[in-house]
Structure 1
Amino acid sequence: MENTVVGVYDSYAQAQNVMNELLACGFSRDEVQLSPEADRTSLTQDRDSGTGSGIGHFFRSLFGMEDEEDRMHHDVYAEAMRRGSCVVTVDADSEEERERAIEVMNRFDPVDIDERSSQWRSQGWTGYDAAAPMYTDSEIEKDRTLYGQNRTTDSTAQSMRGEQQRIPIVEEELQVGKRAVQRGGVRIYQRMTEKPVQESVTLREEHVNVERHPVDQPASEADLTAMKEGAIELRETAEEPVVSKSARVVEEVVVGKEATERTENINDTVRRTEVDVEQLGAADRSTTGATTAADTSMASGTGMRSDYGDSAMTSDDSDYRTHWQNAYGSSGGRYEDYDAAYRYGSMAGGSERYRNYRWEDAESNLRSDWERDHPESAWDKVKDAVRYGAERVTGRQRGR
């Protein structure tokens, strides 16, 4: 578990987008796991059988049960899945990969699992029960609605107590390393070839000639001595070519490598959150400040922090809820699905960048930032909420 990163998401589409982004960033399919693997299919099968034993087995294999901390992690994440959430896990091979996985997973609004489990305990939950049935769709909706209401109550109480809020200023640092890559090379083949050659050689041959000549003369003493039976042999000889071959080294091919060094300049950008503070009148109930970044929260190995949680300024959202009821209530859905859009708009309206903006001029940039940070939420669905949040801060609200 040392380099395992775990993220919890209430939407299966969010979890699927997280897994796809991790795979696109270089993680292998064996390192990334989404549970359930299909949109509530495996959870529905567990619910129909009356138990969540499949969930328990998954987290026992992930965390083990060696000590109290392992059992605590097991219970919290198993309970989150029992209540309809999806879990994405990444087995990172190094600290660098772990940080990269956290950065990717934080883009997709992960659940603050510590805060969520605290809410369960306040309702009497004491630990994961493998024999407990899976939550139905209506139970899931009720549970998350109650969670959203409690978060609003806690935020309001905190503001009334006058407690300090800390807004982290996060700044990226550029880290440049190097790695060895294949750039090409040479392959040497050795093969045999043949070519015709021609040489000349002089050969000597002997031939025996026999001639008979008529003679008429007295026989000499030598002739008489030679007058006996016998045989005389003369052999003919001839030369023939003899071919042999010898090998000689006539050339060498020397293969080696030469190392050179070069300096390359890296040009990139790093991000840093900035905080703009606006002084408000006593009658203004809008937010007391805004950040120019949509999400600066970081994650740990046991959970994530969601958008607009710690970094966004809290306020009374009753005005937002009234607008939501008038604009969206008849179409169904929940206010919690639009809460982030209202707060995003109020942050933009209170920032230096959009303080004197015209909506028609700013909408393109606002839409681009929203779709980058909230790929699961369509701009056309929430843009009225964003505009209302911005105009509520600037005081330039349209007639409703």
Structure 2
Amino acid sequence: MTVTITHVYDTYESAESAIRELEAAGFHRDEISIIGTNAKAVDDFRAMEEKEEGDAAATGATLGGVAGAGAGMLASLGLVAIPGIGPLVAAGVLATTLAGAATGAVAGGLLGGLVAYGISEDEAEVYAESLKRGGTLVSLRAADDKADEGERIMLRHRPVDMEVRADQYRADGWQGYDPEAPAFPQKESGTGRQQPRAM
């Protein structure tokens, strides 16, 4: 039996460090998923989108091939263009699920993709909002006997306390994930309390 452990990190770098430590501990790349923001990768995607304007591959899912990702699971990073959010770096089973959401094969966009992956709808709303605000989600599907080790590794890299973050969002007037709401800038302070960016 496998256990799914999912955490959100305020920075891509923290998520990347967690993944590298998971791999060093013997977790296989097929057990790990990541989706989030990486400024260079997103800039590369936008450049490609401008160059190939009108090409379905530039506006849908383009998994595989983000340059400079390094060895292991991170070398398989690709990009998924999520309606309402734009391009996110992604790899693993979750990335494949979200690629289906991006192309319409999975209903409900980002929220639907997270639910299809196995995250409860209530949790998925907060995860989706965190991704929209610049967070990076890492998920591990580990065997029962390795789940505790995986959780300890992921916690060492200071993931977000999602209950606290949801309370912060609600205190700012958030009522649930809305893909049509204005986009938020990349996190700087880690508080998740930025104001919407003008579009």
TM-score by length of 2: 0.58
Structure 1: distance between partners of 2:148 and 2:188: 33
1:132 aligns to what? 181
Structure 1: distance between partners of 2:27 and 2:193: 36
2:116 aligns to what? 61
Structure 1 residue 144, shift from structure 2 partner: 2.8
The CA deviation string for residues 311-346 of structure 1, in whole angstroms up to 9 with x for no partner, is xxxxxxxxxxxxxxxxxxxxxxxxxxxxxxxxxxxx
Letter of the 2:139 counterpart: T
> Of the candidates 95, 105, 130, which is equivalent to residue 154 of structure 2?
105
1:144 aligns with 2:197: no
The CA deviation string for residues 14-39 of structure 1, in whole angstroms up to 9 with x for no partner, is 10111111111111111101113755
Structure 1: distance between partners of 2:192 and 2:182: 20
* Structure 1 gap segments, 5+ residues each: 65-69, 148-400
Letter of the 1:78 counterpart: A
| Cα gap change, 1:58 to 1:121, in 2 (>3 Å) | same
Contact 2:31 2:141 in 1 (8 A): yes
| Cα gap change, 1:32 to 1:132, in 2 (>3 Å) | same
Structure 2: distance between partners of 1:102 and 1:123: 30
* Structure 2 gap segments, 5+ residues each: 43-78, 88-101, 103-107, 195-199
1:80 aligns to what? 130
Structure 2: distance between partners of 1:22 and 1:78: 23
> Of the candidates 164, 173, 183, which is equivalent to residue 115 of structure 1?
164
Structure 1 residue 119, shift from structure 2 partner: 0.8
Structure 1 residue 126, shift from structure 2 partner: 1.2
Structure 1 residue 122, shift from structure 2 partner: 1.3
RMSD: 3.1
The CA deviation string for residues 168-219 of structure 1, in whole angstroms up to 9 with x for no partner, is xxxxxxxxxxxxxxxxxxxxxxxxxxxxxxxxxxxxxxxxxxxxxxxxxxxx
| Cα gap change, 1:43 to 1:84, in 2 (>3 Å) | farther
More helix by share: 2
TM-score by length of 1: 0.31
Instruction: Give the 3-state SS of the residue equivalent to 1:109 in structure 2.
Output: coil
Bigger Rg over Cα: 1
The CA deviation string for residues 379-398 of structure 1, in whole angstroms up to 9 with x for no partner, is xxxxxxxxxxxxxxxxxxxx
Structure 1 residue 131, shift from structure 2 partner: 2.4
Query: After the TM superposition, which segments of 4 or more aligned residues of structure 1 sit over 6 Å from their partners?
Result: none
Contact 1:34 1:89 in 2 (8 A): yes
Structure 2: distance between partners of 1:37 and 1:22: 20
| Cα gap change, 1:48 to 1:102, in 2 (>3 Å) | closer
Structure 1: distance between partners of 2:18 and 2:189: 26
Instruction: Give the 3-state SS of the residue equivalent to 1:144 in structure 2.
Output: coil
The CA deviation string for residues 106-157 of structure 1, in whole angstroms up to 9 with x for no partner, is 11111111101111111111111122343124xx44883758xxxxxxxxxx
Structure 1: distance between partners of 2:37 and 2:184: 18
1:32 aligns to what? 32
Structure 1: distance between partners of 2:37 and 2:134: 13
2:49 aligns to what? none
2:3 aligns to what? 3
Structure 1 residue 57, shift from structure 2 partner: 4.0
Matches within 5 A, 1:216-231: none
Letter of the 2:191 counterpart: R
Structure 1: distance between partners of 2:131 and 2:86: 15
| Cα gap change, 1:141 to 1:98, in 2 (>3 Å) | same
Q: How many percent identity over aligned positions?
A: 29
More strand by share: 2
| Cα gap change, 1:45 to 1:17, in 2 (>3 Å) | same
Instruction: Give the 3-state SS of the residue equivalent to 2:33 in structure 1.
Output: strand
Instruction: Give the 3-state SS of the residue equivalent to 1:26 in structure 2.
Output: coil
1:329 aligns to what? none
The CA deviation string for residues 222-258 of structure 1, in whole angstroms up to 9 with x for no partner, is xxxxxxxxxxxxxxxxxxxxxxxxxxxxxxxxxxxxx
Structure 2: distance between partners of 1:145 and 1:125: 12
Instruction: Give the 3-state SS of the residue equivalent to 2:6 in structure 1.
Output: strand
